[in-house]
Amino acid sequence: MPLLKMKNTNAMRLLTEKDCLQTPLLQLLLSEQKIGYVIVDHHLTVLNYGGKLTVFLDTQDLPKPLPLLDFIPELNGCEEILQDILNGVLPSFQLENLNRTLPDDGLCYLNLTLLRYAPTASFDTNPQLLVILADTSAWAQTQQILTQQRNELSLLKHTLNETNQRLEFILQYYVPREVGKALMEKRIVPKLGGEEREVTALFADLRNYTSISEQLTPNQTIEMLHVCLDIATTAIAESGGVVVNYMGDAVMAIFNAPNEQADHAQRAVQAGLTIQAMMALYQQNTDNMIPSLHFGVGINTGMAVVGNIGAQWHYQYTAIGDTINVASRICSHARPNEVLIGTNTYAYVQNSITAQALAPLKFKGKSQEITVYQVIELANNSLIESLKKTLVNHS
Q: 94-120, pLDDT tens digit by residue?
A: 998 888 887 777 788 889 999 998 876
Does residue 5 have a pLDDT over 50? no
pTM given for the model:
0.64
Residue where a domain stops, chosen among 100, 135, 170:
135
**Do 382 and 246 fall into the same domain?**
yes
Q: Exposure string (b/e) for 260-271, b if CB count within 10 Å is 16 or more?
A: ebebbbbbbbbb
Distances from the Cα of 303 to the Cαs of 63, 226, 323, 331, 345, in angstroms? 100, 31, 6, 18, 12
Indicate whether 382 belongs to any domain.
yes
- Position 3 in a domain: no
In terms of domains, do 131 and 197 share one? no
What is the torsional sign of CA 73, 78, 84, 85?
negative
Cα(131)–Cα(112) distance, rounded to whole angstroms? 7
* Residue 382 confidence (pLDDT): 79
Instruction: Say whether both 69 and 202 belong to one domain.
Output: no
Cis peptide before 24 (omega within 30 of 0): no
Residue 13's pLDDT band (cuts 50, 70, 90): very low
- 6 within a domain of the structure (yes/no): no
> How far apart are the C-alpha atoms of 232 and 276, rounded to whole Å?
9
pLDDT (tens digit, 9 = 90+) per residue, 367-390?
A: 789 999 999 999 888 787 777 666
Q: What percent of the chain has pLDDT over 90?
A: 47
Q: What is the mean pLDDT of the chain?
A: 85
Domain boundary among 135, 151, 170: 135
Same domain? 128 vs 198: no
Total domains in the chain come to 2
For the stretch 303-356, pLDDT in tens is 999 999 988 888 889 999 999 999 999 999 999 999 999 999 999 999 999 999
Q: Is the pLDDT of residue 18 over 60?
A: no
Same domain, 126 and 202: no
**Measured distance CA(94)–CA(96) in Å, rounded:** 6
Same domain, 283 and 373: yes
* Residues 6+ positions from 211 with CB-CB distance below 8 Å: none
Of residues 20 and 127, the one with the higher pLDDT is 127
Domain of 113, in residue numbers = 33-135
Residue 158 belongs to a domain: no
Contact (Cβ atoms closer than 8 angstroms) between residue 361 and residue 332: no
Nearest-5° angle of CA 167, CA 172, CA 177? Answer: 120
Q: What are the pLDDT digits (tens) for 228-284?
A: 999 999 999 999 999 999 998 999 999 999 999 999 999 999 999 999 999 988 887
Q: Which pLDDT belongs to residue 51? A: 84
Instruction: Please name the helix (run of DSSP H) or strand (run of DSSP E) that holds residue 101, with its range, or none.
Output: strand 92-101
- Count of C-beta atoms within a 10 Å radius of residue 328: 18
Q: Give me the pLDDT at residue 242, please.
A: 95
Same domain, 200 and 92: no
Query: From the CB of residue 253, how many other CB atoms can be counted at a distance below 10 Å?
Result: 28
Residue 247 confidence (pLDDT): 93
CATH number of the domain to which 103 belongs? 3.30.450.20
